[in-house]
Amino acid sequence: MDAQDILQDLEKTEKKIEKRKDKIINWLKQPHNLTLTMIVVLGLIIRFYYFLMTQNQPLWWDGAEYMSMARALAFGLEYEFLPVRPILLSLIMAGFLRIAYNEFLPRFFMLIISMFSIVGMYLFAKEVFNKKVALIASFLMSIFYLNIFYTFRILVEIPSLTFYTFSAYFFYKYFKYNSKKSLYLGAALTAVGTLFKLPTATILFSLLIYLLITQKLKFILKKEMWIAALIFILILTPYIIWGYQEFGGFVISQAGGWNSPAEGEYFSNGYDNFKSYIFMFPTLLSWPLLIFFILGLLSMYKLILGFDVLIKGKNKALNKDLFLFLLFIIPIIVVSLSVAFNEDRYIINSIPIVFSLAGVFILKTYDTIKKYRKFIAILFLIILLGSITYLQLKSADVLIKSRKDSYLQVKQAGLWLKENSQKEDVIVTKSWPHIQFYSERQAIRLPNTEEEFEILKSSDPNIRFLMISIFEPHQEWAYAYPQKQNLTAIQGYFADAQRTQPTLIIYRL
């Protein structure tokens, strides 16, 4: 290749770059696109600020389990896998640990997934309503405190939220345009989301109920439905096969029974959980946002008054409300019935519908005021969104900072053990996921009885350390055991500067 050919190639490359620049500039010249870009940038700035603050914060229990699983997968080490923990997050984290053995890449991955939840929120609300509602909904997602908080925990809630939102977007496109490609994409994304967190699949319950109401059993005869089901099953098949090898049974049913209510208490426990979740919404949303969401729910009154019309298929406009309502309520019902306790993160997949419905009525209020005074309408929007932003970011800031150092002493203990033990040493502790990850030593759980502990000690000569702490509940015998056996405390952590209130002590056996 001579110099003239090189120059020609350079000119062609420059022209391509210029064309791309022009496309980007023209795209940004459109007000909606520019606003969306600003929302995404805002979400990124908020998340990057807290990312820098929390990148070295200790892992919580679930996060420690996922990371210990990742470490075992990456380096072929021993760790007790549990069916309640889906495998995909740990597989991805294992790849990151192979690149660099620290938490930077795993935590950055969570940040990127969180950013996609904002984009998914925009696409979904735009398809169901319009661009203006989508901008409001995506803005709310960008500043939602629960999204921000869990972005900085290596947990499965944010990946599940993101895949749930994109799945809802593609399923709605299928119903709206009869787009088979969208149906297949929705099925594939639901399957991937399920590999992060099993309750992501609750969207399929919503889909099934929707189809039964709107199409009766006719959908069973549609070829694309069977193809979509096959796509979903094929993606899950490697995980199911692995589950049979690892746990000797159907991993999904085993996971479902892990935190389930006691036999005979499903409905009573479910009812109590459901009430708790409903009463969480004032805290989750803050009152200004809650009011507009309630207005959005009330606008669906025709679903009840016109249910017979919906069943007969005489009013297609009700189909959209039905789809939205099911996407909102089914995740709450399923988790209420299937888990013995409740946590705010368990209903996070209902939030995209909340923001969409709230966005509709925020926009309606703005348009109504605008008919009389445009300035007042703009002022209303600024004050409303400003107050919501303040309340959400304040909640995020308080929550992140107050929990930033939780489990810090467990992390410090794990790192101390890494520096002050041999590779073959084994640690007995109630915080085994944390200690196994941070110490890079085998950690096994402390038995429930002293007799079981004595049997465990005698069975493995490499058991060298016992860790007792306040971070996990211990049986009474465990607190008395070190003094009874005259064990030597070799490292301690305390709640006070005078070192009179121990929170964690490591003993040499």
List the beta strands (DSSP E) in 286-402: none
6 within a domain of the structure (yes/no): no
Phi first, then psi: give them for residue 321, nearest 5 degrees: -60, -40
Amino acid letter, 211: L
Whether 2 is in a domain gets the answer no
pLDDT reading at 350 higher than 80: yes
pTM for the structure as a whole: 0.94
DSSP class per residue in 145-194: HHHHHHHTS-SSHHHHHHHHHHHHHHHHHHHHH--HHHHHHHHHHHHHHH
Q: Is 369 found in the same domain as 339?
A: yes
Q: How far apart are CA 425 and CA 418, in angstroms?
A: 10
pLDDT-derived band at 197 (thresholds 50, 70, 90) equals very high
* Region of poorest pLDDT, from 140-154, 170-184, 244-258, 294-308: 294-308
Residues ≥6 apart with Cβ < 8 Å to 333: 270, 274
Each residue of 198-237: pLDDT tens digit? 999 999 999 999 999 998 889 999 999 999 999 999 999 9
Which residue among 380, 403, 426 closes a domain?
403
Shared domain for 391 and 418, answered yes or no, is: no
CATH code (residue 430): 3.40.190
Distance of CA 258 to the CA centre of its chain: 19
Direct distance between the N- and C-terminal alpha carbons of the chain, in angstroms, rounded to an integer: 73
Taking residues 266-273, report their average pLDDT.
91
The label of the residue with tokens 């015998």 reads: 477
Q: Are residues 159 and 306 in the same domain?
A: yes
State how many domains the chain has: 2
Examine the domain organization and report whether 384 and 254 are in the same domain: yes
Q: Among all chains, which residue has been given the structure tokens 């990151």?
A: 96
- Quickly state the pLDDT bin for 243 (edges 50, 70, 90): very high
Decide if 344 contacts 331 (C-beta within 8 A). no
Domain coverage including residue 496: 408-508
Sign of CA dihedral 399, 402, 406, 408: positive
Query: Does 340 share its domain with 435?
Result: no
The single residue listed with the structure tokens 């099953």 is 233
Residue 256: inside a domain: yes
One domain, residues 177 and 243: yes
Beta strands 426-429; 442-445: pairing state:
parallel
pLDDT at 3: 65
Q: How far apart are CA 219 and CA 215, in angstroms?
A: 6
Domain boundary residue among 381, 403, 425? 403
Are 224 and 285 in a shared domain?
yes
What value, to the nearest 5°, has the Cα angle with vertex 178 and ends 174 and 180? 70
**Percent composition of the chain: helix, strand, coil (DSSP 3-state, to 5):** 75, 5, 20
Whether residue 213 is contained in a domain is answered as yes
The values of phi and psi at residue 372, to 5°, are -105, -45
* Contacts with 463 (C-beta within 8 Å, 6 or more apart), sequence order: 426, 427, 428, 444, 456, 457, 509
Q: Going by DSSP bridges, is the β-strand pair 488-494/442-445 parallel, antiparallel, or unpaired?
A: unpaired
Share of the chain above pLDDT 70, in %: 98
Contact assessment for residue 126 and residue 176, using Cβ atoms and an 8 Å cutoff: no
Kindly tell me if the per-residue pLDDT of 47 is higher than 60.
yes
Same structural domain for residues 388 and 502? no
Nearest CA-CA partner of 137 in 94, 95, 169: 169
* pLDDT score for 5: 67
Q: Do the Cβ atoms of 501 and 494 come closer than 8 Å?
A: yes
Q: How far is CA 49 from CA 55, 133, 307, 391, in A?
A: 10, 27, 48, 18
| pLDDT value of position 304 | 81
- Same domain for 240 and 163? yes
Look up residue 406 and give its two tokens: 């939780």
pLDDT recorded at residue 372: 92
397 has a pLDDT exceeding 60? yes
**Residue that finishes a domain, picked among 373, 388, 403:** 403
Does residue 384 share a domain with residue 297?
yes
Domain shared by 396 and 454, yes or no: no
Residue linked to tokens 């919404």: 281
Q: Give pLDDT, residue 2.
A: 61
Do 183 and 248 lie in a common domain?
A: yes
The 10s digit of each residue's pLDDT in 362-396 is 999 999 999 999 999 999 999 999 999 999 999 99
In a domain, 71, yes or no: yes
Q: For residue 14, is it within any domain?
A: no
Token pair for 167: 């799945």
